[in-house]
Structure 1
Amino acid sequence: MHEVVREFYIDDLLASWTHEWIPVDEAPHLDLALHAVDSVDLVLRQTVRVRPMRAWCRVSIDVPPAEVLRVLHMENGQPAWLVESVSRDEALGNVSMCSRTWTRADAVRVVVELDERAATGDEVATPQEVVTPP
């Protein structure tokens, strides 16, 4: 399993800390490809022809564990957004990526939109995560 750890900044503030897990068989040379391209999604689409599609997503606000508080320079008890998701290959249905992102609630507003399939129940909805500064 590949693990990719990313930090996202707003100006000089470390606002989000993301862990992404990608099965080695989905992208055997991911570590090399990420030296040339920053986007895991783009690497999967262009180098191994996987088309990631969001299959599951949960968004919550919680007090992060001590390690997250330390990395994001937050005080004990300060809440943060937690976004967890699973993506599958659109064609084969294989899990292509799982991710967990902790985001400072005092710096970022999180909005989750569901497409029309969620309302009709015809198909499994594909959550679309939108993160914007407050």
Structure 2
Amino acid sequence: MIPESQPSIMVIDADVLVRHVLAEYLRTCGYRVIEAASTDEAAAFMYEAGLTLEAVITDAQAPGALGGFAFARWMREAHPEVDVILSGTPEKSADEAANLCDQGPHLARPYEPQSALDYIRRLRAARTRII
């Protein structure tokens, strides 16, 4: 088990195989990973566990009361210290992406776990330079 002091990342995706592959890869890279199948489950984890996250990777089409795009917007407003990455296919995301295009990165599917990790590292490095 990775200690609480390790950087924490939440992966939100209804596709258990996609979620698990990415989560396992991030764990082997030293991250504490919280997996959620929906935005409802992700929000519950955050409130119940009082999680401190460095990053969230969410499928743009994630199920839940908010959905992936709305959850990303909420995270950026309520938790600006957390980097948020949307993943998904451009075809499914194009209409909703206009609302968030200026607010953060999008990770197009299919993607390799290393690409997600590289994205997280770049975002964290940029945040560190700003602070």
> TM > 0.5 between the two?
no
Bigger Rg, which one: 1
Where is the helix percentage greater, Structure 1 or Structure 2? 2
Q: TM-score range by the shorter chain?
A: under 0.3
Where is the strand percentage greater, Structure 1 or Structure 2? 1
- TM-score where L is the length of structure 1: 0.26
